Amino acid sequence: MSDPTTATTADAAAAAAAEQLRATAESTELLLRTLAELEPADVAEPSGLPGWTRGHVLTHIARNADSLVNLLTGARTGEDVPQYPTPESRDAGIEAGAGRPLAEQVADVRASQQRFLDAAALLAPEHWTASITHRSGYVFPAWQIPAKRLAELEYHHVDLNAGYTPAHWPEPFAIAEFRRLGERLGAEKELPGVLLVAEDAGLEARIGGEPLELTAEGPVRALTGWLSGRADGDGLQVHRGDEGLADPRTSLPELPPMG
């Protein structure tokens, strides 16, 4: 499995992107299987995201694909193509599409993902090394666009509250996100210090500041679920020194939103 955070040549960048593109196709198929089990009225039910129905989540998944087509186009042409025209247009597009019937939502998810794959297929290896500006302002290499799409698919599949949980995440995705979120939260020194031990993956991460207050052990998917706010820590073993804590859900600190 290629490391989704490093690539040193155009060929390596193209290979990393291709691997993640395949993963997005597989992730989309799993999402479509979940959607096939829903009843038409289910699309208007609440999702796991505050204030959003399942229709909001599905519309966001589709419009995210189109926004990443914009970034892929910029990487291919060398032009500065913004991910969204404005933040307001992004929000308005989600709101406008949220109330559509389930069948229309499903067709939109499928078609927008295909547009994303078609746009990616137009890039030559050197295009994948182009610098791209995310909608939040930070700059990253184009070969990381497919990994960002994969994260949107996997996290929001869970957010649908339709039976897909962090336990269903592909292991490579869970490992990559464990590393990424562990590094990000490792810089949050105001958080209590927690050592995370994913024994099944042979990984550790240290988040928060000093001193080390807790150790949380468990499967990498469960730990990544907690780090990403998609799980409450259920199934983890939490210790303070040599003392095992009975309920990890109340023992673990509250984390900042992923952003």
pLDDT in tens, 66-96: 999 999 999 999 999 999 999 899 999 999 9
- Confidence (pLDDT) at 249: 86
Q: Tell me the residue ranges of DSSP E strands in 188-250.
A: 193-198, 203-207, 212-217, 237-240, 243-245
Q: How far apart are CA 65 and CA 120, in angstroms?
A: 11
What residues contact residue 86 under an 8 Å CB cut-off, 6+ apart?
Answer: none
- Specify the amino acid at residue 175: I
What residues contact residue 68 under an 8 Å CB cut-off, 6+ apart?
Answer: 83, 116, 119, 145, 148, 149
- Main-chain phi, psi angles of 183, to 5 degrees: -65, -45
Give pTM, 2 decimals.
0.94
Mean pLDDT, range 34-48, rounded to an integer: 98
Asked if 148 and 97 touch (Cβ cutoff 8 Å), the reply is: no
- Confidence (pLDDT) at 1: 47
- Confidence (pLDDT) at 258: 81
Cα distance from N-terminal residue to C-terminal residue, the chain? 26
**DSSP label at residue 255:** P
- Confidence (pLDDT) at 242: 86
So where are the chain's domains?
Answer: 10-164, 171-251
CATH number among 3.40.50.2020, 3.40.50.620, 1.20.120.450, 3.40.50.300, domain 10-164:
1.20.120.450
Share of the chain above pLDDT 90, in %: 90
Mean pLDDT, range 211-238, rounded to an integer: 96
Architecture of domain 171-251: 2-Layer Sandwich (3.30)
- Confidence (pLDDT) at 259: 63
Considering only residues 8 and 170, tell me which one the structure prediction assigns the higher pLDDT.
Answer: 170
Mean pLDDT, range 193-222, rounded to an integer: 97
* Average pLDDT, rounded, for the chain: 95
pLDDT at residue 164 greater than cutoff 70: yes
Local confidence band at 4 (pLDDT 50, 70, 90 cut-offs): low
Please report where in the chains the tokens 């993963």 appear, as a residue: 23
Mean pLDDT, range 220-240, rounded to an integer: 96
- Confidence (pLDDT) at 36: 98
- Confidence (pLDDT) at 185: 97
Share of the chain above pLDDT 70, in %: 97
